[in-house]
Amino acid sequence: MAQAVLIETAPADVIVVGGGPAGCWAAWNARASGASVILIDKGYVGTSGAMAAGNNTTIDTVRGTAEREFTVNQRINRGLGLVRRPLVESVLDKARTNLDLLAQWGYAFPIDEDGRPYRGMLRGPDCLRFMRQRLIKAGVRVIDHCPAEELLLTRDGAVAGVRARYRNGRGLLEVRSAAVVLATGGCAFLSGAIGTNNLTGDGYLMGAEAGTTLASMEFSGQYGIAPSFSGVTKGIVYFWATFSDADGNEIVLPGDRQSVAKHLLNGPVFAILDKVSPRLQEGFRKGQPNIFVPFDRAGINPFSERFPITLRHEGTVRGTGGIVIDERAATNVPGLFAAGDAAAREGMSGATSGGGGPNASWALATGSWAGEDAAAFARHVGPHQASRPIQSIRARPTVDGRSRKAHIKAVIEQIKGETLPLDRGFFRSEESLSRNATKLETLWRDDAWRRPGDAYDAARIREAEALIATARWVTASALLRRESRGVHRRTDAPTSDPALTTRIVSGGLDTPWAAYDLARDETVRAAS
């Protein structure tokens, strides 16, 4: 195979990697702040990512109201000691400002029964398509189907741009920039959960290669209930379900996923949505139509017929782990920012899933902060950013060779086998985690599958590397947290330890590490 050709070098003040809500808002705010902006995405901006796959709840509250106080207290109570009130307040303030902007721009919010715009819901495809058009009109260059592969740094360690690869085989794209925003989403380890196929932890790996730290990666054991023939993990409808085993015997489930997981380990579980009233059925179909598409295609009426269910891994897409940022969106690498699911958000959601509303609000807020601060950083660097000497920092360069699609696919299947099963990802123990760590270490150090034959191979190799790296940080963090808290469940330590009410940071490439962030605890206590 001939070496991939660098076909284009594009300068920009700011490059945003990832076209979900965080990326779109980062691009908008950077452009509104006067920066030239390029937005690149693995897929098509407007249809790729978790938000684009369905409707998304949002939080639209005003500071100082009873409604805001209830929302913040709910976050704190569910966060199990890790949520910080000032951060939640700031996030919700900024998210509401952005909802106001959408309304001013003419975005068509859903209409409630009283005929008024309902801002507690964003229709994913509509909203992202609307943002795409807004960005293009504002002068943002949007590049689709161009996965980012590595960050570029200056010799003194500041970010200097991104190197990406066009999916169509045209070659490489190198963007020289003063600042970079990683809005690449989380990682669901190719579980098949709706909207997560492109979310393979790419931003985590690129950030770690540049020197960033991650946090709360152990809080990745988030799974969503779904029909076994579907990837739709919208779980709200199952509060009105009756569950049963293969023989039709009713199973009494408290409604938590842990009970479902225990029964699934013993055999198949079925559900029927027989507790949903006719009026609510209509409301569900209007409000969450994507839930029912798989049923309609399969010819199943879920309100009157049993169907098999499963739990699909949602990882850090619905969990809280990611790149460490400051009170806005800056990482420890000069000029590098992270937003949305790419950033650690235990301060917003703690040890439990942020679900739809908190995660959407986090994406809107951190995306905006990242864009604003990236533009400010670019102004500080000045007009000579494109002429700075750069260095490549990719941890394990690929070696040209014959196409190894089957080999790469086998490696990815091995990664999934170490992360997705309920007895490894949902329930954890010292034994299972140590076994995972050994197998992941072997995969990481094996160079046999890092020999791309074409652009497809190269993109999949990079995804596999990101999946392995992410799994290693999850494993290292989960081994260190010897307790159960939120979506981190240790069968050998089933209770929570009050002494461990702190976050775990992690990092490292050839040698992954994890440690309690005691210095941050002191800072938080002093601020309180």
Confidence (pLDDT) at 395 = 67
Residues 6+ apart with CB under 8 A from 398: 450, 451, 452, 458, 461
Terminal-residue alpha carbon distance, the chain: 59
Residues 6+ apart with CB under 8 A from 197: 190
Residue-wise DSSP of 138-183: HT-EEE-S--EEEEEEETTS-EEEEEEE-TTS--EEEEEEEEEEE-
- Is the CB of residue 320 less than 8 Å from the CB of residue 362? no
Class of residue 211 by CB neighbours under 10 A (exposed 0-12, middle 13-18, buried 19+): middle
Domain borders along the chain are 223-313, 405-527
- CATH topology match: 223-313 vs 405-527: no
Confidence (pLDDT) at 1 = 36
Class of residue 279 by CB neighbours under 10 A (exposed 0-12, middle 13-18, buried 19+): exposed
Chain-centroid distance of CA 93 in Å reads 22
Q: What is the CA radius of gyration of the chain?
A: 22
What CA–CA distance (Å, rounded) separates 178 from 159?
7
If one counts every other C-beta atom within 10 angstroms of the C-beta of residue 6, the result is 11
**Residue with token string 């079925």:** 270
- Is the CB of residue 60 less than 8 Å from the CB of residue 401? no
What CA–CA distance (Å, rounded) separates 335 from 347?
23
Domain 223-313 has CATH 3.40.50: no
> What CATH class does 405-527 carry?
mainly alpha
Structural tokens at position 181: 């925003």
**What global pTM score does this model have?**
0.93
Q: What is the pLDDT along the chain (528 residues), one digit of tens a residue?
A: 334 556 667 789 999 999 999 999 999 999 999 999 999 999 999 998 888 887 788 999 999 999 999 999 999 999 999 999 999 999 999 999 999 999 999 999 888 777 888 898 888 889 999 999 999 999 999 999 999 999 999 999 999 999 999 987 778 899 999 999 999 999 999 999 999 999 999 999 999 999 999 999 999 999 999 999 999 998 888 989 999 999 999 988 765 688 889 999 999 999 999 999 998 998 888 777 888 999 999 999 999 999 999 999 999 999 999 999 999 999 999 999 999 999 999 999 999 987 778 999 999 999 999 999 999 999 999 877 777 877 777 766 655 555 567 888 999 999 999 999 999 999 999 999 999 999 999 999 998 888 777 777 888 999 999 999 999 999 999 999 999 999 999 999 999 999 999 999 999 999 999 999 987 655 555 555
What CA–CA distance (Å, rounded) separates 242 from 187?
31
